[in-house]
Amino acid sequence: MADRRLQVFHAVARHLSFTKAGEALHMTQPAVTFQIKQLEERFNARLFDRGGGRISLTPAGELVLDYAERILGLSNELDIRVAEMTGEMSGSLLVGASTTIAEFMLPPILGEFNVRHPQVRARLTVAHSEAIGNAIAAHTLDIGLIESHANHPSLQCEICGDDELQVVCTPNHPLARRGEVDARGLLAHDFIAREPGSGTREVTDDYLRACGVEPEKLRILMELSSPEALKGVVATGLGCSIVSRASFEKERQLGTLIAVPLRPRLKRTLSLVYPKDRFRSKVVLTFVDFARKKLRELSV
């Protein structure tokens, strides 16, 4: 329903690249350039500044982008509402999840949801919690599942479960012989940390400070963005770490890693995040209810 020129303009404005916009829209670069030229002639104004191999929005372009997002959003909402009147449960579902949830909790949830609603096409974006929150706020994702609380003013954040974090190490590590360990007990050992911006890193740093330990005092050897990579490094005996209990069940069963609870216990909330004031389709609402139920079951 929306003007194709606006769709092309929106893609170029978001990517700030004619080439990347063409790839996203399955169009050639000359075709993208032609559509932008037509729109600029329609408004009798330049929408992009071009120079030095880079492009940027002009003031007129910023104004058009604001309206384009609203027009395209309404057009999409119209399509969805008419489809829902026919009883269809179909369409796309753009889900974002922080790394631990995406790798260890979400796959069976998405799989079961697809079995129940085979006409829904889910697409999963994996990033740390902060990046997922920003993508939801920018309306490039429908819903996010993160391991911390989102503080963005345009986002609704709903707690849907919890997850315990524990110290992990090899069976021959000095901490493996202990029944539990407090925050100060970590200071004497080399530590493998998650990257800044991740939900795990944020909640761990907050926990340490609450226990009177500055995170900078840890003997951090590495900062890794992948839970799998982190576990692999810990398994070499290089150091210990703090990770989600859900992320090392396989290693625990194989005996390659040992879990040591923290004292006091460290639990974090799992949250569903979505825009406060944006229309949500039946697909999104159904998935929210389904994911909420499944995540609460995992927390039991």
Angle at which helices 4-15 and 29-43 pack, to 10 degrees? 110
Please, which residues have CB within 8 angstroms of residue 292's CB and are 6 or more apart in sequence? 158, 160, 272
H or E segment and range at residue 208: helix 199-210
Closest CA to 204 of 151, 252, 148: 148
81 has pLDDT over 90: no
Question: What per-residue confidence (pLDDT) applies to 2?
Answer: 56
Residue 50 CB neighbours (<10 A): 10
Mean model confidence pLDDT for the chain: 86
**In this predicted model, what pLDDT tens digit does every residue of 13-22 receive, in sequence order?**
888 888 888 8
Overall average pLDDT of the 60-79 stretch? 79
pLDDT category at 88 given cuts 50, 70, 90 is: low
Q: Where are the alpha helices (DSSP H) in the chain?
A: 4-15, 18-25, 29-43, 59-85, 99-104, 106-116, 129-137, 199-210, 227-235, 249-254, 282-299
Q: Which pLDDT score is estimated for 154?
A: 79
**Token pair of 226 as six digits:** 């992948």
- Relative orientation angle of helices 4-15 and 59-85, to the nearest 10 degrees: 120
Which domains, and CATH codes, for the chain? 4-85 (1.10.10.10), 91-161+269-299 (3.40.190.10), 163-267 (3.40.190.10)
**Dist. CA 160–CA 295, nearest whole Å:** 6
Give me the pLDDT at residue 77, please: 63
DSSP bridge partners of 258: 169
Q: Is the pTM of this model over 0.75?
A: no
Whether cis (ω within 30° of 0) applies to the bond prior to 264 is yes
Closest C-alpha to 171, from 96, 239, 255, 108: 255
- How far is Cα 130 from Cα 172, in angstroms, rounded to an integer? 35
Closest alpha carbon to 245 in 147, 165, 145, 160? 165
Instruction: Please report, in angstroms and rounded to a whole number, the separation of the first and last CA atoms in the chain.
Output: 46
- HSE-up of residue 271 (Cα within 13 Å, Cβ side): 19
- The more confidently predicted of residues 38 and 130 is 38
- The residue ranking higher by pLDDT, 188 or 72, is 188
| 265-277 residue pLDDT tens | 999 888 888 887 6
Average pLDDT of the segment spanning 252-281:
86
pLDDT digits (tens, 9 = 90+) for 197-243: 787 898 999 999 999 999 999 999 999 988 899 999 999 999 999 99
With a cut of 80, say whether residue 72 has pLDDT above it.
no
* Whole-number pLDDT of residue 167: 97
Q: What is the arithmetic mean of pLDDT over 131-149?
A: 83
The confidence band for 256, taking pLDDT boundaries of 50, 70 and 90, is: very high
Counting DSSP H helices and E strands in the chain, the numbers are 11, 11
Mean pLDDT over 92-97 rounds to 88
